[in-house]
Amino acid sequence: MSALSNPLVTADQLYQKSISNTLPIELQDSIRYYTSRLTQAAGILLRLPQDVTARANVLLYRYWVVDDLMEHEFSACTCFPIFLGNIADKIQDVSAAIVYLTAKISPCPRSLRSITNVYAYLLSSSSQFSSPSTPPRDPESYYLSESAYITQRTLILHIEGQILNALGFNTHSSLPHPLALTYLQFLDCFNDKVLGKRVAQKTIQYLNTALLSPQMLYLTHQPNALATASIYLAAREEGLKLPDTEWWEVFDCEREELGFLVVGMRSLEGLARRSREIWGSKGMITRRDVKEELDRRGLNGYGNEDKVEDEEAEMARLMDERLEDN
């Protein structure tokens, strides 16, 4: 496989995966959307380069093509005060496991301690990610006890192994961002430096937006096509004149593929609006939220395993209580 290409899934594979899932399509899209946002936010706080965070989201979507969306908790359940030992759900965090795995194989790995602390903060009541308004700072809301950290670390490592197994240990992911800048230079877009800079910034923005698209564009199209579509949209929006000929064919992108990608890259706003209609102002959703929404709709496709406390979580709670007694 070329270093500039990726393993792709077919439209039929995505369709079969979608119809075999008992979750409604809009809930499947919401799970991917909210988890990708969380992954992006964690990458920022961990000071990871954007290419590492982007690869994390690509691997996350690939993993969910193989395994069920409800297999693990999307985010660490720190919505309850862990420092009191009240862990109400399994601390299984596929987002944290993906970030840990992707950073580990990059030039800038991050420790599990750093990752668990970042997720504890992001999902606490003190984080703006979880609250639409400016929340009060309460360090206790994101304090992670030693026993809770050990529990979460163990589960993240367990999920990491399952992700690698599902991916066949193939973590290669080529991003379109460098290609897009090369294509812009080839098209002489930087003759006007001010306009060229705006077009380049808008191009990168569209590529980052496409990471969260409900069509899962990074799984179905090669980087060259993604780069071409983002340039087309950015140039059109910024008023940059491109060659009158079918220039996209030079970059091995057909007109039909370009049209699909242009529509897909602009579909995130609709997904965000639909998700807000379902979940309101929540910054992140959990498996429990999804099950409650299914119950509200009268769709009981999943069991009530969230009511049973995980054995390791129970052990962490008991250890915290013993420490408090001492």
CA–centroid distance for 18 within its chain:
18
Question: Are 126 and 138 within 8 A, CB to CB?
Answer: yes
Task: Give one DSSP letter per residue of 256-284, joined into a string.
Answer: HHHHHHHHHHT-HHHHHHHHHHHHTT-S-
Report how far residue 218's alpha carbon sits from residue 223's, in angstroms, rounded to the nearest whole number: 8
Output 6-9 pairs: Cβ under 8 A, ≥24 positions apart: 6/58, 6/172, 6/173, 6/174, 6/218, 6/222, 6/223, 7/170, 7/172, 8/219, 8/220, 8/221, 8/222, 9/62, 9/65, 9/216, 9/219, 9/220
Instruction: Output the pLDDT for position 250.
Output: 95
64 is written with which tokens?
Answer: 């969910």
Instruction: Output the pLDDT for position 171.
Output: 94
Print pLDDT tens along the chain (326 aa): 478 899 999 888 888 887 777 788 899 999 999 999 999 999 999 999 999 999 999 999 999 998 888 776 666 544 433 333 333 233 348 999 999 999 999 999 999 999 999 999 888 888 878 766 666 778 888 888 899 899 889 989 999 999 999 999 999 999 999 999 999 999 999 999 999 999 999 999 999 999 999 999 999 999 999 999 999 999 999 999 999 999 999 999 999 999 999 999 999 999 999 999 999 888 888 888 888 899 998 886 554 444 444 555 555 666 666 655 55
Listed in sequence order, the DSSP H helices in 48-145 are 50-66, 94-104, 112-122
C-alpha dist (Å) from residue 205 to 71, 179, 208, 223, 237: 31, 14, 5, 15, 12
Question: Are 91 and 73 within 8 A, CB to CB?
Answer: yes
What is the three-class DSSP state of 47?
A: coil
Tell which phi-psi region holds residue 239, choosing left (phi > 0), alpha (psi between -120 and 50) or beta: left
Report how far residue 278's alpha carbon sits from residue 285's, in angstroms, rounded to the nearest whole number: 11
Question: Are 232 and 201 within 8 A, CB to CB?
Answer: no
Instruction: Output the pLDDT for position 189.
Output: 93
Instruction: Output the pLDDT for position 139.
Output: 82
Instruction: Output the pLDDT for position 124.
Output: 85
Eight-state DSSP code of residue 7: -
- Closest by CA to 39, choosing from 71, 73, 75, is 75
Amino acid at site 44: I
Report how far residue 60's alpha carbon sits from residue 39's, in angstroms, rounded to the nearest whole number: 9
Amino acid at site 86: N
